[in-house]
Amino acid sequence: MGSYFFGKRYALTAAISSIVLVLAVAVIFPESFSAGRFEYTELLRWIDIITWCIFLLFTAYLMGILYEKKERANKELRKIYSGIIEMLSLVLESADNYTQGHSYRVSQVSQLIAKELGLNPVEAENIRVAALLHDIGKTRISGDILRKAGPLTTQESTHMQKHAWNAVNMLEPLGHKIGNLLPLILHHHEKYDGTGYYNITEEDIPLGARIIAVADVYDALTTDRPYRKAFSPLQAKQEILAGAGTQFDPEVVGAFTAIFPYIEQEGHLSAP
């Protein structure tokens, strides 16, 4: 356990300390090592002890290697995330300002909700990056549809709904390291009652997607759109609360409510 959580050096130090302690006991209190009614010679006693020492050192070393592999994987993941963020900035240079600022703000609110729910740092970071990328598929949607002031036609709505799949198709070639983010991006428009894009409900919707859904709608409501003026933060909060249990996961809404004073204080987490 020490090697898994703290590394090879810690594991070997603990193993050697344990070996020294046991060897000391074996020398000072030889009767502590007994085989009951079986004949247990001095030679067999020391063979058993040495075998145990070797096994302990070997196990500590191997577990230490696993720890190092885990750390390398985490570093690789962080490097991929950095590359994704750089790629996102380049891809969104040609997009409208709303899309770029919106994704940043949604990522910040999503991460705050994830932390409030008690998710570990890696899970919270995954959700933050997925939120940052959730609308990248809109770069393949016509600008006329994105900026349309009136209601979308059925055909335009169907085309708009493809942006989640567009994002998955754009990101999938990056490999398995980003694979756990794709369901979060694909399902961020699902509704808790099953009336979303793919009609999946409640716990079947990935938690990260449920979190992004709340952050996404909140930011959309508090931002000027071609077809309406922005809501005040308090009005948007009331809309989120009204959707708990139908559009949104009530637990996620509860976490959002808890962090709302911070969001309001920070002035909507404006992008730098």
**Is the pLDDT confidence value at 255 over 90?**
yes
Average pLDDT estimate for 7-13: 73
Q: What is the 3-state secondary structure (H, E, C) of 139-207?
A: HHCCHHHHCCCCCCCHHHHHHHHCHHHHHHHHHHHHCHHHHHHHHHHHCCCCCCCCCCCCCCCHHHCCH
Note whether 251 and 126 are same-domain residues: yes
Note whether 13 and 106 are same-domain residues: no
Res 96: pLDDT: 55
**Is the pLDDT confidence value at 32 over 70?**
no
**Is the pLDDT confidence value at 63 over 50?**
yes
Q: Classify residue 226: in a domain, yes or no.
A: yes
Residue pLDDT, tens place only, 100-139: 578 888 889 999 999 999 998 888 988 988 888 887 777 6
Q: Classify residue 85: in a domain, yes or no.
A: no
Note whether 33 and 167 are same-domain residues: no
Domain with 131, as residue range(s), is: 95-265
Q: Classify residue 272: in a domain, yes or no.
A: no
Over the chain, what is the mean pLDDT? Answer: 78
Question: Between residues 36 and 152, which one has the greater pLDDT?
Answer: 152
Note whether 33 and 109 are same-domain residues: no
Average pLDDT estimate for 156-160: 71
Average pLDDT estimate for 40-65: 78
Note whether 146 and 261 are same-domain residues: yes
**Is the pLDDT confidence value at 31 over 60?**
yes
Out of 32-46, 51-65, 244-258, give the one with best mean pLDDT: 244-258
Place of tokens 């703000």: 105
DSSP state of 65: H
CA distance 92 to 141: 13
Note whether 49 and 103 are same-domain residues: no
Res 209: pLDDT: 92
Res 241: pLDDT: 93
Do residues 171 and 178 touch, judged by C-beta distance below 8 A?
A: yes
Q: Classify residue 253: in a domain, yes or no.
A: yes
Q: Among residues 68, 86, 113, which one ends one of the domains?
A: 68
What are the tokens at 32?
């502590």
Q: Classify residue 10: in a domain, yes or no.
A: yes
Confidence label for 252 from pLDDT (cuts 50, 70 and 90)? very high
Q: Classify residue 60: in a domain, yes or no.
A: yes
- Rounded to a whole number, what is the distance in angstroms from the first to the last CA of the chain? 42
Note whether 103 and 189 are same-domain residues: yes
Confidence label for 263 from pLDDT (cuts 50, 70 and 90)? confident
Residue pLDDT, tens place only, 92-109: 555 555 555 788 888 899
Helix-strand-coil percent breakdown of the chain, rounded to 5? 75, 0, 25
Note whether 139 and 201 are same-domain residues: yes
Note whether 51 and 101 are same-domain residues: no
Confidence label for 257 from pLDDT (cuts 50, 70 and 90)? very high
**Range in 51-55, 163-167, 252-256 the model is least confident about:** 163-167
* CATH number for the domain harbouring residue 160: 1.10.3210.10
Q: Classify residue 157: in a domain, yes or no.
A: yes
Average pLDDT estimate for 82-90: 63
Note whether 110 and 239 are same-domain residues: yes
Q: Classify residue 73: in a domain, yes or no.
A: no
Note whether 12 and 100 are same-domain residues: no
Note whether 14 and 116 are same-domain residues: no
Residue pLDDT, tens place only, 169-220: 777 776 666 778 888 888 888 888 888 877 788 888 999 999 999 999 998 8
Q: How many domains does the chain have?
A: 2
